Structure 1
Amino acid sequence: MNLANALATSYQLYFITDVLRVAHPEQVLLLLTMVYLGWTLVSVYVCGVLSDRLGRRRAFVACGAIGQALGCAVVAIAPGMGTALAATSLFGVGVGAYLAVDQAIITAVLPAAENRARDLGIMNIGLFGPQTLGPLLAGLVIGALGGYQVLFALAGVTSLVSGLLIYRVSSVR
């Protein structure tokens, strides 16, 4: 999920400038960032409450992955200002659903109390590694493999794969 999010969001200003070609791309970026943040906050809260009440975690990761993938599909198929707003909303809802349960899943599957610091350190590699490598990979995809549509398609597929992989974690419902 973190890699898909990094792929989908790290080159937004360039996407706005190169594809949407609006007069003030930095203002559009600010708007999209605020929309993303707003939907993420709403989704984190709602999904966190629902996850605790239902005692379920994996479904929220899967739904978040689908939401993020739908956002990628929308903007890859029909890039425009309206679709960018819709896609950003879907990104925010998807990431929020994921973030609502991410830490709960991680702490539930830690194998031994004496190794928690090490295990959480490894988890942080999974969090920050994709955020570091995502922009590099995105730049390569945009420059050498077909541009923004390919980038958003790759981000969508990456998101869907992450949603499927959560079901390999059998100790969490």
Structure 2
Amino acid sequence: YKRHLLSRAASVTAVIAGWCLVQLALNAAFAALTAAVPDQVPRRQRGLVGGWLGVSQVGGILVGTALATAAGGITAGYLACAAFSVLAAVPYVLMRRDVRLSPADRPPFRWRSFLTGFWIDPRRHPDFGWAWLTRFLMNLSYSISTMYLLYYLTDAVRYEGDADTGVLILTALNALTLLATVVVSGIRSDRSGRRKAYVIGSGLVITAATLLLAVWQTWTGAVVASLVLGVGFGVYTSVDFALLTDVLPTAEDRGRDLGVINIANALPQVLAPVIAAPVVSHLGGYTALYALAGFLALAGSVLVRRIRGVA
């Protein structure tokens, strides 16, 4: 229904309202879906499941892009994506294994408790706090690195062909190496029982990719950086998800806690343009922008070491 509103939007205000509703619905579904993982998946298999979640996210982007393109026109594209969103939820609904609480076991709903529940004191749960911060920094770095590729190709690389096509090629290359590493790294992390080493290593790879974009501003450099970035983010996507499920404060509040974690996924997408615009315009251009992205990924890598309860 929300995507239907977007398909009929006739003003910027309507587009903003429709997109906010889409984000509200999709993030609610994603939080519930990820909460099922620590409830139903053994700890030593969560890297594997995190890897497949990464595959589904990348696959969803590619399928959504293909649907929107093949449907022809903005309205048809949004309607096709809306239909796919509904159909994609059917298998989980039909095959779910959730154990419902009886009404007697459910705490009474109170607005005050609901609103204050979003604050999880990092002094009482430091591992959760550090995990949230590192995920925020990594996702902010990735968002800055990918959201400005169109302008990067146009203004810095001086790409001779169609810039939209160039971004599509870079996105495909990034997805290729991400898919090649996301499941394998999750399996290896499960077998070794180690999480932090993989997350730190992936952050360093992401840092290297962003620095390539900062100093090697050519089409060849952008291709190499996209391939390297996919490797780093593929490893990070699967293993960090498993790490997060290992540091959740309580079993009873996993849905809420993973919803709070999801803020660290969504908020960087909002903040990235706010940060990038002044950096590109007034603080050093694309060299400074991608150097900043590298610094954020490096900071996320270093701070992962502060998490004590995970190997």
Give the TM-score band, short-chain normalised. over 0.9
2:299 equivalent among 152, 161, 170: 161
**Greater share of helix:** 1
Instruction: Find the counterpart in structure 2 of residue 75 from structure 1.
Output: 213
1:3 aligns with: 140
Does 1:107 find its partner at 2:278?
A: no
Distance 1:71 1:153 in 2: 10
Range with greater deviation from structure 2 (152-161 or 135-144)? 135-144
Shift of 1:49: 1.4
Moved over 3 A (4+): none
| Identical aligned residues as a percent | 39
Question: 2:252 is paired with a residue of what secondary structure?
Answer: helix
Q: 1:124 aligns with which of 246, 259, 262?
A: 262
| Whole-angstrom distance in 1 between the partners of 2:289 and 2:295 | 10
**Aligned residue runs from structure 1 range 141-152, under 5 A:** 141-152=279-290
Q: TM-score, normalised by structure 1?
A: 0.96
Letter in 2 for 1:33: T
**Which whole-Å CA distance do the structure 2 matches of 1:103 and 1:73 have between them?**
25
Q: Which residue of 1 aligns with 2:197?
A: 59
Partner in structure 2 of residue 97 of structure 1: 235
CA RMSD of aligned residues (A): 1.0
Q: Which moved more, 1:75-84 or 1:151-160?
A: 75-84
Deviation at 1:135, TM superposition (A): 2.2
Shift of 1:116: 1.4
Q: 1:13 aligns with which of 111, 136, 150?
A: 150
1:87 aligns with 2:225: yes
- Number of the residue aligned with 2:24: none
TM-score, scaled relative to structure 2: 0.54
Q: Distance in 2 between matches of 1:104 and 1:87?
A: 26
Partner Cα distance (2:229, 2:273) in 1: 17
CA distance in 1, matches of 2:200, 2:277: 27
User: 1: distance between equivalents of 2:199 and 2:306?
Assistant: 12
Helix, strand or coil: the match of 1:79? coil
- In the alignment, which of 268, 271, 276 is matched to residue 138 of structure 1? 276
In structure 1, the residue matched to 2:182 is 44
Q: Over alpha carbons, which structure has the higher Rg?
A: 2
What is the rounded CA distance, in whole Å, between the counterparts of 2:274 and 2:182 in structure 1?
28
SS in 1 for 2:227: helix
Letter in 2 for 1:16: L
Aligned residue type for 2:142: N
> Secondary structure of 2:242's match?
helix
**2 CA distance for matches of 1:83 and 1:40?**
18
Task: Name the aligned partner's letter for residue 302 of structure 2.
Answer: L
Q: How many residues align?
A: 173
- The 2-side partners of 1:130 and 1:26 are apart by 23
Mapped partners of 2:153, 2:298: distance in 1: 25
